[in-house]
Amino acid sequence: MPEAAGSANIEVAHHLNETGVRHGVEHSEERIEILEIFETIVLALVAIATAWGGYQAARWDGQQSRLYGQSNSIRVQAQGLAAQVNDIRMYDGMTVAEWLKAEAQGDTKLAEIFERRLWPDFRPAFEAWKKTDPVHNPNAPAGPTLMPEYRDAAMEQPEKLNQKAAALFEEGTEARERADQYVRVTVVLATVLLLTAVGQRFRTVRIRAGLIILAFLILIGPLWRILMLPRI
């Protein structure tokens, strides 16, 4: 009888041990399955965020190139207009010099011819300067460009174009910075991807869970950054 009872106890203990092991294995497999689901979610978020970050970086790079191109084109246009304005200034200066010679020699008819050949925008300053009797008055201003009436309206357009080009260039620089910000976000996302991949190599639940939790915490930063960054 004692032997039968002992044998029965051994069988019961063996059965309980097998049941506990089986439950432990099932519980461990269940936790691993939960981890795998969580890892899948993290990987999906990383994939979506990386794709979106790369797309936005490319769009901002294209925006930068477009703005820089417009800025350069406008600068070339401004330089062309400025060259024309300088030619007009030289023309008016030479005409005034010839007018002074004619006036000094008393050749009124020739002086009138040079007056008629002055650029229309230059004429108000010239007329004001002429009233100071520059031929006989040593205190008269050296030229019409020193008169208060002088306005170089033609030069205003190149200046406005240069200002517009500078503004476009600044926008292009900001677009480049936006692209760099998205690139930096994708670098952080690569770190999240690495931690997740490394975690999947471990069979120990605690280590694997710790790595995926760390990866998720890091992931929050770039996800928030992507939501806050400007997009086009």
- Output the pLDDT for position 27: 52
How far is C-alpha 116 from the geometric centre of its chain's CA atoms?
A: 52
Q: pLDDT band for 157, please (50, 70, 90 cuts).
A: confident
Structure tokens at 81: 């207009």
* pLDDT computed for residue 9 by the predictor: 43
Which of the four pLDDT bands, split at 50, 70 and 90, describes residue 11?
low
The alpha-carbon radius of gyration of the chain (Å, integer) is 42
Distances (CA, A) of 159 to 69, 74, 76, 149, 162: 19, 11, 12, 20, 5
Q: How far is CA 50 from the centre of its chain?
A: 19
Q: Model's pTM, two decimal places?
A: 0.67
* pLDDT at position 16: 38
Which two three-digit tokens encode residue 88? 């007009």
The token duo for 232 is 């086009």
137: left (phi > 0), else alpha (psi -120 to 50), else beta? beta
SS3 annotation, 93-132: HHHHHHHHHHHHCCCHHHHHHHHHCCCHHHHHHHHHHHCC
Which one is predicted more confidently, 166 or 26? 166
Rounded to an integer, the average pLDDT of 154-177 is 90
Q: Report the 10 Å Cβ neighbour count for 95.
A: 19
Residue 1 pLDDT level (bands cut at 50, 70, 90): very low
